[in-house]
Chains A and B, each alone.
Chain A
Amino acid sequence: MLNTAVELCEITKAFGENNVLRGIDLELYAGQVTVLMGANGAGKSTMVKILCGVYNANGGAIKLFGKQFNPATPAEAIKAGVVTVHQSINDGVIPDLDIASNLILDNLARPGGSFFLNQRKNRAEAQKIAETMGLDVDVTQLVNELHLADRQLVAIARAMAHKPKLLILDEPTSSLSAVEADRLFELLDRLRESGVAILYISHRMSDIRRIADRIISMRDGKISGTFEGASLDYEGAVKAMLGHSMTDNKIDIPEKGEAIVAIKNMKIRSDSTPFSLDLHANEVVAITGLVGSGKTEFANILFGIEKPFSGNIVLDGKPYQPKSLRQAIDAGVFLCPKDRASNAVVQDFDITKNISIPFLNRHSNFSFLNFASEHKTANQTISDLGIICQRNSDEIGSLSGGNQQKVMIGRWLAQASNLLVLDEPFQGVDIKARRDIGKKIRQTASKRATLVLVAEIDEALEIADRIIVMTDHTIVGDYQNKNIDIGQVLSKVAGQLSQSTELSAHAT
Chain B
Amino acid sequence: MQPEVKTNELKKHSPQTKRKRTLAELAIRYGFLLLMVGLIIFFSLTAEGFASPFSAVFIFQSVAITGILALGVTATLVVDGFDLSIGSTATSALMLSAYVMVVLEMNAFVAVIACLIMGAFVGLINGLLIVKMKVPDLLATLGMMFLLIGLQRIPTEGRSISTGMTMPDGRVTEGVFSPAFLALGRHRFDFFIDNLIPVSVIVLLVIGFLVWVFMELTRHGRLMYAIGSNQRAAELAGANVKRYKILAYMISGVLASVGGILLAARLGRGDIASGNNLLLDSVAAALIGFAVLGAAKPNAFGTVIGALFIGILLQGLTMMNAPYYTQDFVKGAVLVIALVFTFALSRRKGTH
* Chain A contacts to B: CB under 8 angstroms: 325-326, 329, 335, 337, 342-349, 353, 356-358, 360-361, 363-364, 367-369, 386, 388, 390, 395, 397-399, 404, 411
Contacts and interface: CB of A to CB of B under 8 A. Distances in A.
Nearest to A358: B237
Interface in B305-352: 348-352
B218 A368 contact: yes
B232 interface: yes
B6 interface: yes
A344 B223 contact: no
A335 B236 contact: yes
Contact of A388 (B6, B217, B230): B6
B46 interface: no
A326 B9 CA distance: 38
Top-8 shortest CB links A-B: A360-B219, A348-B229, A397-B352, A358-B237, A329-B238, A357-B237, A364-B219, A367-B218
A404 B349 CA distance: 15
Interface in B1-22: 2, 5-6, 9
B349 to A, nearest CB: 6
A346 B230 contact: yes
Contacts of A361: 219
29 contacts: A325-B236, A326-B240, A342-B230, A343-B232, A343-B233, A344-B233, A344-B237, A345-B230, A345-B233, A346-B226, A346-B234, A347-B229, A348-B225, A348-B228, A348-B297, A348-B349, A353-B222, A357-B222, A357-B233, A357-B237, A360-B223, A367-B218, A368-B217, A369-B217, A369-B218, A369-B222, A388-B5, A390-B9, A397-B350
A342 B236 CA distance: 11
Contact of B349 (A337, A358, A395): A395
A440 to B, nearest CB: 14
Interface of B is mostly: helix
Contact of A397 (B222, B225, B233, B349): B349
A344 B232 CA distance: 7
B5 to A, nearest CB: 6
A328 B169 CA distance: 59
Interface in B197-248: 217-220, 222-223, 225-226, 228-230, 232-240
Given A348-B228, A357-B237, 8 more contacts: A343-B236, A346-B233, A357-B222, A357-B233, A368-B219, A388-B6, A390-B9, A397-B351
Nearest to A356: B222
Nearest to A15: B352
A329 B218 CA distance: 20
A386 B2 contact: yes
A326 B233 contact: no
Nearest to A327: B238
B222 A360 contact: yes
A342 B218 CA distance: 25
Nearest to A363: B219
Interface of A is mostly: mixed
A337 B225 contact: no
A133 B249 CA distance: 52
Contacts of A344: 230, 233, 236-237
A358 B234 CA distance: 8
Contacts of A388: 2, 5-6, 9
A31 to B, nearest CB: 43
Given A342-B232, A344-B233, A388-B6, A357 B217 contact: no
B108 to A, nearest CB: 32
Given A345-B230, A348-B225, A398-B352, A337 B236 contact: yes
Contacts of B219: 360-361, 363-364, 367-369
A379 B15 CA distance: 25
A347 B235 CA distance: 15
A384 B16 CA distance: 32
Nearest to A395: B349
Given A346-B229, A360-B223, A361-B219, A411 B237 contact: yes
Contacts of B351: 397
- Scoring A346, A386, A399, A404 by chain B CB atoms within 10 A of each residue's CB, the highest score goes to A346
B350 A347 contact: yes
Contacts of B220: 367
Contacts of A360: 219, 222-223
A337 B233 CA distance: 9
Contacts of B352: 397-399, 404
Contacts of B349: 347-348, 395, 397
Nearest to A411: B237
Nearest to B239: A357
Nearest to B213: A368
Interface in B292-307: 297
A93 to B, nearest CB: 23
Contacts of A356: 222
Contacts of B225: 348-349
B240 A349 contact: no
Contacts of B9: 388, 390
A240 B202 CA distance: 71
B226 A357 contact: yes
Contacts of B239: 357
Nearest to B225: A348
Contacts of B232: 342-343
Interface in B67-101: none
B235 A325 contact: yes
Nearest to A339: B232
B142 to A, nearest CB: 22
Contacts of B217: 368-369
Contacts of A398: 352
A325 B218 contact: no
A372 to B, nearest CB: 13
B237 A349 contact: no
Contacts of B228: 348
Nearest to B296: A348
B43 to A, nearest CB: 35
Contacts of B348: 395
Nearest to A336: B236
A363 B223 CA distance: 13
A38 B349 CA distance: 33
Contacts of B236: 325, 335, 337, 343-344
Contacts of B222: 353, 356-357, 360, 369
A368 to B, nearest CB: 6
A418 to B, nearest CB: 15
A337 B267 CA distance: 55
A369 B217 CA distance: 6
A346 B233 CA distance: 7
A315 to B, nearest CB: 17
B77 to A, nearest CB: 12
Contacts of A326: 238, 240
A357 B223 contact: yes
Nearest to A374: B222
A14 to B, nearest CB: 14
A178 to B, nearest CB: 32
A326 B237 CA distance: 8
- Scoring B225, B229, B232 by chain A CB atoms within 10 A of each residue's CB, the highest score goes to B229
